[in-house]
Amino acid sequence: MRTRPTLTWEPPSGEVFARTTSLDAMVDLVAGRGVVVLSGAGLSTESGIPDYRGKSGALRRHTPMTYEDFAGSAQARQRYWARSHLGWRAMAGAQPNVGHRAVAALRASGHVDGVITQNVDGLHQAAGTLPEVVDLHGSLDRVICLTCGVFSERTELERRLNEANPVFDGVAARINPDGDVELAEDAVRRFRSVDCDSCGEGVLKPDVVFFGENVPKARVERCKELVDGAAALLVLGSSLTVMSGLRFVRRAAEAGKPVVIVNQGLTRGDRYASERIEAPLGAALVELVGRVGAAADLG
């Protein structure tokens, strides 16, 4: 069963928890080691990829594709692929920022045991955070056929889309966290999508979890294992609006594990946090690496 997507969230009246700009709680948490990181779109904004719900978040002007729309409408799929085709160029060209590199340094030094990311941009891996990055919502660099189940590389799909649209002249107005862009409807109507190259007729979908779609059970179980084995949870740049990420914050808190949230703005998980820090992530993580002695060149 697929659930109704949660796109926005407002705190209950009067429920606002104190926040601080001090990084001491985050430093103490990570210095103790055994930390699992849960990262969100706020970590990738310094790489040029906007978040959904910040001050300039994409949800203020963009409604993400839902699974129901994508699976049920050929027009919706044409619109998605036309816009995502342009968006992929920007996503593929995005580079890890200093925050991603700091997380990689903390993983290499043994302070961080694993990373669960809600992002689909692959920037943790590009920064060298290996092993143990779980792409909770999948990754844009793979494609799956909804008919035959075969996976393929996004680069191969882009080659086929370029061949099918040799004179496509759409211009992206803005990229969104899901790789979608703003694109004029007349450009969308001129775009030709392609079917699965394996079975010849299947519907192709990026290997990401759309709004209203469930995260694969095996992936959820792996995340639970990471959280259960962790000493603490550090949330970086997520509003925790969607349950797919919030449930791990709840799980850690219910197990009596400290949860520190670093985010610019309120989050749906604030009630579960032992500390809530308001700070720009890049600078905060650089300071964190220095203070816990995780030597790394973050330039």
3-state secondary structure of 213: coil
Half-sphere exposure of 130 (CA within 13 A, CB side): 6
| Count of other CB atoms within 10 angstroms of residue 78 | 16
Catalytic residue among 62, 85, 100, 137: 137
Tens-place pLDDT, residues 85-144: 988 987 888 999 999 999 999 999 999 999 999 999 999 999 999 888 999 999 999 999
Angle at 186 between CA 182 and CA 190, to 5 degrees: 105
pTM for the complete prediction?
0.91
Q: How far apart are the first and last CA of the chain?
A: 46
pLDDT over 70 (residue 147): yes
Active site residue 137: yes
Tens-place pLDDT, residues 1-53: 344 455 566 777 778 899 999 999 999 999 999 999 999 999 999 998 887 64
Q: By the 8 A CB rule, do 127 and 103 touch? A: yes
